Amino acid sequence: MLPLTRALQRLSLAEIQTTPRFLASVRTKKWVETPEIGQGISYRRIVHFPEEYTVKPLEITNLGGRDPATGRLVVKGIGGGIKHKFHWVDWKREGPIEGPPKVERVVKILKDGCRTAFLALVAHEDKLKYILATENMKPGDLIRTSCHIPRIP
């Protein structure tokens, strides 16, 4: 009992180093690093985004639950279905800081295959972009966007 108490007295928290967690495979005696929580990758699809924003449908690689590097089945229950078009949504609604608001016209409302929400194709001058459509939005509507905050809102 005495050697055990001496060993515990010498042990300090500074000496303990955090090492990555490893999971041992029982059959092959191979050490595999376990993934961090929340840092995983999607094994459903890979969307290939170009350098610049575009309103063309984006290319998608459907993985079907397989690892893109090895091709091995990683997640069961994913696969099949139909190929859908994925549209790039412009999330930033930027308008002028001063002066009149920017007026955009809704060109059309469409359903994106990879989302449950509808998208609206809006045009301002010679630029087109997709935004999430509201419930009552219809083609021909005008959207006013401004970054100006009045003194008495």
The burial class, CB within 10 Å (0-12 / 13-18 / 19+), for 113 is middle
Nearest to 120 by CA among 145, 146, 142, 147: 142
Q: Which two tokens stand for residue 104?
A: 């955009």
Count of positions (residues) in the chain: 153
- Domains of the chain, earliest start first: 89-152 (2.40.50.140)
Q: What's the rounded Cα separation, in Å, for the pair 58 and 83?
A: 12
pLDDT band at 56 (very low <50, low <70, confident <90, very high): very high
Kindly report the pTM of this predicted structure.
0.65
Share of the chain above pLDDT 90, in %: 34
State the average pLDDT over residues 57-79: 86
